[in-house]
């Protein structure tokens, strides 16, 4: 069952050439870079931080315009540019190699990172995400919502009524009613500056993204794809397209929509811990063979 987990994770500011990025940094060991989704921020990763930090060093960069990070750099033209920002972050933190776990937009830039810098990525988990283009009908709807938010400088109650249901399974009111309530509260908390300089431009990068499915063939790292069985934003069939191209496993989480990390944290954490465990075992075998 989903639910919010109380936590006060430590964060630190890292100055990149593209701007100031705030990063939650907890635990020790294998670095795991967690990419959160648009609008939620790191709050959607709290159950994963709690589950992984006893075993790994967990890093959650706050996406531009979220939390303590600065505004989206004006030069950002694509999701691949965000992947480059994250590579610069890894350099700043002196991290040579990590596992990348990304949800929604985090999965998109995570895949770009794995394709652009394969030597930096020991494993990749793509959750509730899709590297293909946005379907035309949805693109039209989302673009209209973004235009309205940009014009008003706020996410009005009416717009929130349209956005919130997209992020959860249809039965969320029965399973975890606190989640849509908390999400709606977060939507109302963005300032006009955050919305116009970061959230809306990031949303447009998502909506207008080019077909990036071909980059999946460039990914060398072991990969896991996870999908919510009732995800309305990225339905399961989109994840099946990616797993066929990646030739990797697919985990479909039952009773779950787009925000799997909070709707079904136990199942998501189990899948991630299993994936990380298999990665560690494989790396140990490789090290023995090399020795």
Do the strands 19-27 and 98-103 form a parallel or antiparallel pair, or are they unpaired?
A: unpaired
Q: How many CA atoms lie within 13 A of 109 on its CB side?
A: 26
Q: How far apart are CA 200 and CA 178, in angstroms?
A: 26
Q: Which residues pair with 224 in a beta bridge?
A: 125, 249
Rg of the chain on CA atoms, in Å = 18
Q: Name which of 54, 16, 44 is nearest 101 in CA terms.
A: 44
Residue 9, pLDDT score: 55
Residue 283, pLDDT score: 58
Residue 285, pLDDT score: 39
Going from the first residue of the chain to its last (291 residues), give the mean pLDDT of each consecutive group of 10, the final group possibly shorter. 45 94 95 97 95 96 96 97 98 97 98 98 98 97 98 98 97 95 96 98 97 97 98 98 96 97 98 93 49 46
pLDDT (tens digit per residue) in 228-275: 999 999 999 999 999 999 999 999 999 999 999 999 999 999 999 999
Q: How far apart are CA 111 and CA 79, in angstroms?
A: 10
Q: How far apart are CA 2 and CA 4, in angstroms?
A: 7
Q: How far apart are CA 107 and CA 114, in angstroms?
A: 10
Q: Name which of 1, 89, 82 is nearest 38 in CA terms.
A: 82
C-beta separation of 192 from 154 below 8 A: yes
Q: How far apart are CA 73 and CA 18, in angstroms?
A: 6
Residue 199, pLDDT score: 98
Per domain, the residue ranges of the chain are 11-133+211-290
Residue 5, pLDDT score: 38
* CATH class, 11-133+211-290 region: alpha beta
Q: How far apart are CA 190 and CA 194, in angstroms?
A: 6
According to DSSP, residue 37 is labeled P
CB atoms within 10 A of CB 158: 10
Q: What is the end-to-end Cα distance of the chain in Å, rounded?
A: 45
């Amino acid at each position: 069952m989903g639910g919010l987990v109380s936590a006060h994770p430590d964060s630190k500011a890292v100055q990149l050439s593209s701007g100031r990025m705030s990063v939650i940094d907890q635990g020790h060991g294998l670095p795991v870079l967690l990419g959160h989704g648009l609008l939620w921020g790191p709050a959607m990763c709290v159950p994963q931080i709690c589950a992984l930090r006893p075993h790994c060093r967990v890093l959650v960069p706050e996406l531009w315009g979220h939390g303590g990070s600065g505004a989206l750099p004006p030069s950002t033209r694509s999701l691949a540019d965000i992947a480059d920002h994250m590579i610069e972050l890894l350099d700043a933190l002196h991290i040579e190699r990590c596992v990348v776990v990304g949800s929604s937009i985090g999965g998109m830039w995570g895949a770009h990172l794995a394709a652009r810098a394969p030597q930096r990525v020991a494993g990749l988990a793509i959750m509730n995400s899709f590297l293909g283009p946005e379907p035309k009908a949805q693109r039209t709807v989302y673009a209209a919502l973004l235009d309205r938010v940009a014009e008003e400088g706020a996410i009005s109650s009416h717009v929130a009524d349209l956005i919130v249901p997209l992020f959860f399974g249809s039965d969320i009111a029965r399973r975890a009613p606190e989640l849509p309530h908390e999400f709606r509260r977060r939507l109302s908390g963005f300032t006009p500056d955050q919305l116009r300089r970061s959230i809306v431009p990031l949303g447009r990068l998502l909506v207008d993204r080019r077909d990036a499915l071909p980059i999946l063939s460039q990914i060398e790292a072991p990969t896991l794809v996870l999908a919510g069985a009732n995800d309305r934003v990225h339905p399961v069939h989109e994840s099946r397209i990616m797993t066929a191209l990646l030739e990797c496993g697919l985990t479909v989480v039952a009773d779950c929509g787009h925000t799997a990390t909070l709707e079904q944290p136990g199942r998501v954490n189990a899948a991630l811990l299993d994936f990380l465990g298999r990665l560690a075992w494989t790396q140990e075998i490789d090290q023995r063979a090399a020795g």
